[in-house]
Amino acid sequence: MGLGNIMVLGQVIAFLMSFIFSFFIFVPISVNLNEFNGNCLLYASGTWNTSKGSSYLTGISWGPSSACNFSVFVGVVVMLLSCFYIVWHSMYLCRGIDSSWLAAFLTCILCIVISIILFASALTVSVGFKEWCHLLTLPEAQIESCEDGQYLIFLPPTLKIDTSQYYTEMEMAQFGLWTTWICWVIVSMMSVIRMYSFNREEAFLTSMDRERQRLLQRWQPSSQYEQI
């Protein structure tokens, strides 16, 4: 197995891990959106109303829906791309051949772009959820930790929002985003190495062709002299 096939095998493994971890992205966020009636808790704000020993979060300004929907979209796209590349690279492995330079180049560019998008999405979810947790752990909230909030009722019952799993769901989403990002960074590094291997091989073949042409030019005059 050549260097190219070893890199392809490594990419298949990384894409397989990415395929699995992508479900940790869009599934928990989608469930959370459903439980919060389509409201995105990322970057949400509000005021606490304390009465009769109980605290309720009122005047809530929910976060932008794009913060959650974009992560769901990214998770689905990553899942589909990972599935495609698993099948595509597996075909090369079964045939024992390497992909073309153009295919390797396009894969390299795509992997770098997806890595950047995943990093932006992971950062958005992590920072947004941190702000939500900061809101829940204000002194007037009477909630010791963000995780404890999912075991308490802190939203008015009229909103009909289920807050019993929000911490678990968002932790799963962050885990899925960061681990998937690591997978795509690894794939991007492998793609860059493959491109370097392609360019080095091409430079070697170009040098060999140049030497062959030089030898032919030296041989042709002597051959013509002998014929005369």
Convert the pLDDT of each residue in 124-144 to its tens digit.
Answer: 999 999 999 999 988 888 888
Place of tokens 């599935």: 83
Residue pair 44/136 in contact (Cβ under 8 Å)? The answer is no
Rounded to whole angstroms, the Cα distance separating 42 from 177 reads: 15
- The 8-class DSSP code of residue 165 comes to S
Rounded to whole angstroms, the Cα distance separating 17 from 183 reads: 7
Rounded to whole angstroms, the Cα distance separating 19 from 15 reads: 6
Q: Give the start-to-end residue ranges of the domains of the chain.
A: 3-200
Instruction: Give 118's contacts (C-beta < 8 A, 6+ positions apart).
Output: 74, 78, 177, 180, 181, 184
Task: Give residue 208's pLDDT.
Answer: 59
Rounded to whole angstroms, the Cα distance separating 127 from 67 reads: 11
Task: Give residue 1's pLDDT.
Answer: 47
Q: Residue 4: pLDDT above 60?
A: no
Rounded to whole angstroms, the Cα distance separating 146 from 142 reads: 11
Does the predicted model carry a pTM greater than 0.75? Answer: yes
pLDDT in tens, 183-212: 999 999 988 888 777 666 655 556 556 556
Q: Is 38 left (phi over 0), alpha (psi -120 to 50) or beta?
A: left
Q: Residue 22: pLDDT above 80?
A: yes
Confidence category of residue 225, pLDDT binned at 50, 70, 90: very low
Q: Residue 41: pLDDT above 70?
A: yes
Rounded to whole angstroms, the Cα distance separating 65 from 79 reads: 21
Please state, for a pLDDT cut of 90, what percent of the chain lies above it.
49
